[in-house]
Amino acid sequence: MDKKAIIDKIVVFLKENFQSEPTGHDWYHFERVWKMAKFLQSKERGNLFLIELATLLHDLDDWKLGDDQNEKDKSRTKKLLDELSVDKSTQEKVIQIIKQVSFKGEGEDDQVDSVEAAIVQDADRLDAIGAIGIGRVFAVGAGIRNRPIHDPEIKPEKNKNFKEFKKVKETSISHFHEKVLLLKNRLNTKTAKKVAESRHRFVEEFLKQFLKEWDLKDLDEI
């Protein structure tokens, strides 16, 4: 099994199919998470090939892209791995890692069972925190969820399970409280936790500034 050739072919596939995806789940998201995962692996160890495969394929069947395939059988992922002649044992490990990646609500247990899953989950979550994470929240809000930017009457909810998390009525601002601000304390690796510190602070400062402008309190400083 030529591992480099397989990775190269997956990269080509993602570029061809996700280059212009408008919701923050485009090729550049895959690329950032891939690079972050390789960085984390260099510090935390783990099987690099499994990490690369799972990272590059982690959103291929994601429920946020509209078809809930990830709750069925990872059909697009498995199809691609079959086409690339990836052995069954590796496929099973990759799919198991991918199942553990997504955040599914504050009340859901999202613990991982391997260092590889820990790294892939951390890499994906780090891309949801910080300046790029802020941009992706609004891209998803406009591109998929059809949610308003902010509504003071809509308060953040504590979602007990994945079903509630998927159906919650939210705004982009409340989404920060229901997911983004929770991620720092749900990271697995020491390296990811260090990366998250400044990104998390940036999100907190952004939200303070946003609400200050929303309420025109920034005018008090003029």
* Residue 68 pLDDT class (50, 70, 90 cuts): very low
DSSP 3-state assignment of 222? coil
Average pLDDT, whole number, for the chain?
89
Distance (Å, rounded) from C-alpha 100 to C-alpha 111? 7
Range in 53-62, 86-95, 101-110, 151-160 with the lowest mean pLDDT = 101-110
Number of domains in the chain: 1
Distance (Å, rounded) from C-alpha 86 to C-alpha 88? 7
Quick check: 165 pLDDT over 70? no
Average pLDDT of the residues in 187-215: 98
Average pLDDT of the residues in 182-193: 97
Residue 86: which domain range?
A: 3-221
Q: From 4, 6, 30, 5, select the one nearest 17 (Cα to Cα).
A: 30
> So what's the pLDDT on residue 209?
97
Cα 11 to chain centroid distance, Å, stands at 18
Helix, strand, coil tally for the chain in percent (to 5): 65, 0, 35
Quick check: 65 pLDDT over 80? no
At 92-129, the pLDDT tens digits run: 999 999 999 988 676 677 889 999 999 999 999 999 99
205 neighbors 56 (Cβ within 8 angstroms)? no
At 13-50, the pLDDT tens digits run: 999 999 888 878 899 999 999 999 999 999 999 999 99
The CATH number of residue 190's host domain is 1.10.3210.50
Quick check: 141 pLDDT over 90? no
- Which range of 19-28, 71-80, 206-215 scores highest in mean pLDDT? It is 206-215
* Residue 69 pLDDT class (50, 70, 90 cuts): very low
* Residue 70 pLDDT class (50, 70, 90 cuts): very low
Quick check: 73 pLDDT over 90? no
What DSSP character marks residue 100?
T
* Residue 64 pLDDT class (50, 70, 90 cuts): low
Range in 17-26, 28-37, 59-68, 80-89 with the lowest mean pLDDT = 59-68
- List alpha helices for 46-130, DSSP H: 48-57, 75-83, 88-99, 115-126
> So what's the pLDDT on residue 97?
96
> So what's the pLDDT on residue 199?
98
Distance (Å, rounded) from C-alpha 127 to C-alpha 4? 24
Distance (Å, rounded) from C-alpha 125 to C-alpha 113? 17
Distance (Å, rounded) from C-alpha 116 to C-alpha 199? 23
Distant-in-sequence, close-in-space partners of 222: CB < 8 Å, separation ≥ 6: none
131 token code pair: 């300046």
% of residues, the chain, pLDDT over 70? 87
What one-letter code names the amino acid at 208?
A: K
DSSP 3-state assignment of 138? helix
